């Protein structure tokens, strides 16, 4: 009997902890802003811009480039180009802007939105943003030109 009660106690301990930790993981993930939240909340172009600006406070959100792709696609489709510029200009306040691939993502987004002049302007601003320009960023600019 002692073996059964010991096994039963261990089972309760491990199953109880797993449930609590699973709940914690779910709670943490639901508090992070996601692009699927954008689908349910914001249907107006300015609503998308406001959502993107407020969500970009979270570093995990900024790392998900797909979030920006969806938002820029919707804004370009609505011909709300000032909103695209507003979102990308807002990102310059974060330290991620020093990363060349982060800036390259925005240069490509400008290209996807047919805003090549803004892409070139961002490429020229890279040294002021403390971001080194290399062959990679130049190739991204060329790709942006092609997409425009």
Rounded average pLDDT per 10-residue block, the chain, 148 residues:
65 60 44 55 84 92 91 94 95 91 94 96 95 95 94
CB 146 within 8 A of CB 111: yes
Q: Is 74 helix (H, G, I), strand (E, B) or coil?
A: helix
Model pLDDT, residue 25? 44
pTM: 0.71
Which residue pairs from 44-47 have beta carbons closer than 8 angstroms and sit at least 24 positions apart in sequence? Answer: 45/74, 45/75, 45/78, 45/80, 45/83, 46/80, 46/83
Model pLDDT, residue 148? 87
C-alpha distances out from residue 28 to 10, 18, 54, 60, Å: 27, 15, 18, 12
Model pLDDT, residue 121? 97
Model pLDDT, residue 16? 58
């Amino acid at each position: 009997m002692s073996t059964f009660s010991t096994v039963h106690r261990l089972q309760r301990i491990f199953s109880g902890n797993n449930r609590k930790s699973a709940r914690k993981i779910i709670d943490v993930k639901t508090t992070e802003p996601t692009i699927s939240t954008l689908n349910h909340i914001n249907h107006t172009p300015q609503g998308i811009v406001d959502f993107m600006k407020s969500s970009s406070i979270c570093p995990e959100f900024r790392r998900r480039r797909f979030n920006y792709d969806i938002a820029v696609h919707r804004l370009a489709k609505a011909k709300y180009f000032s909103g695209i510029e507003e979102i990308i200009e807002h990102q310059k306040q974060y330290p991620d802007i020093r990363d060349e691939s982060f800036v390259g993502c925005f240069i490509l987004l400008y290209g996807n939105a047919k805003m090549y002049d803004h892409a070139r302007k961002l490429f020229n601003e890279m040294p002021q943003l403390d971001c080194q320009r290399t062959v990679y960023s130049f190739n991204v600019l060329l790709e942006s030109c092609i997409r425009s």
